[in-house]
Structure 1
């Protein structure tokens, strides 16, 4: 399997600088927030989202070099993503993220809420300073979409009538919107045509959906060590993902377990076993592969370059995480 490190070799130096800049963007005036930021930005992460922004920037600029505005956009993309993770972990009561304690586990809920809010606010301020109204609108929509996705997820907990379409809509709001709109924004900063900007948006949308579907599969097939959190975490919290929704079509007893919210001892283990014993995981793999293929189709209009090839290879990388 290709590693994210080798895949992103063309933007490796950019990503190193980005990590250093992120800590500075938070600023040292707030020692607790700075400590929380250092904890977050030093936690490893694949830096997938800023890497995509930098790759799109290189693929669309005549010089194949990102401008300072492209680099700032990449930083803001990671800030928004990190802010969403902080809030996610509070809502899900997760103690671990990428194998290390979450911000609320380390600093308490109050600081974690404020840290997430601060990162969203700081990202918004730097976003406004890009002086590009279209990009401001796109990234502001991402923050709105994230909140919409969280609300939908909260309202649909343990809802066995949830459709795959509703799941994909929530997945777009929570995960794919950021990748889609930041990819489009990178193109707009390069001055691409409206048609190509839309293609870049669609690439990010489908790649983001494929990425999250794979994550949702790994919640059932990955080890707790590899996931950095307990396996089956989403199901336990009532977040029904593609493998579960497909499994419900052939395993009626799964609905009984979910409806009683795993109240009896052994319910969760039994539910996980039912999902693994169904076609849910295979059908979810096919769904992820479908969206990965659609992502590739949307960047065929880009001029050939190393960065374009990496964007194509990225779709294979996303799927290869399953094997």
Structure 2
């Protein structure tokens, strides 16, 4: 019968039958599955976009490293008035930079004289070098180099406040990231009789040259402390008998109703954008707002702090608790 012959070549060789003789076990289906979406150009090794992204990341890392080194190094207070005020306040300057061919007015002469009296090095430098040292700030040909700021420990800050003889008054900043606002708050705190300022170690401006300049030398007179955890530190102060009052734009109570102003008090000022954080707000014994005319959303953090501190100072003068 055709096909049954045993003659050589009369039967089909093993494995030549059409179609699959043995099941594939799903291997063929798996082989047809995709490997996922195509990676972005920046993620493909060897792609020009990937090389550009890697180079940009390296540049950013270099900038961060340089900024960190600059933050750890000396700061330079820029501007004639800030430099003079810092020297008057006996800020621990290490060098006075004076631009070549500067128009020496009374402020420049006073700065040079005070620096010489205190043994501070006076260096004449080209204007472009002074631009570099001050980070292109408006220096008016004058810059004062100061060492890295030395923060006070929060426990020591409370001890200083208690030794002042009056009811302690401290200011805590919750996420104020603008160094100009920080400097302005320090200046207001010193003006209205506060004993010190507390900053969180994260998400907060530090005592940079900009903060030094804005404080107009007040940072040399008023201790500034830094807390690892602001909420925990506020709770510790509350356990030590201090009242915690926070500034909150939505608070129903206004600053003129702050009856605890004459008690040992910590005034907490929130960030420029979101205000007080949730945990800090929950830690406060009371929150107060500043009454404003309709149509005005909010005040700058440093201005709001000044308004509250002025009200606290007024109440303390009225009751004799100053």
Q: TM-score, normalised by structure 1?
A: 0.22
Greater relative contact order, per chain length (Cα 8 Å cut-off, separation 6+): 1
Q: Name the structure where strand makes up a greater proportion of residues.
A: 2
Q: TM-score, normalised by structure 2?
A: 0.22
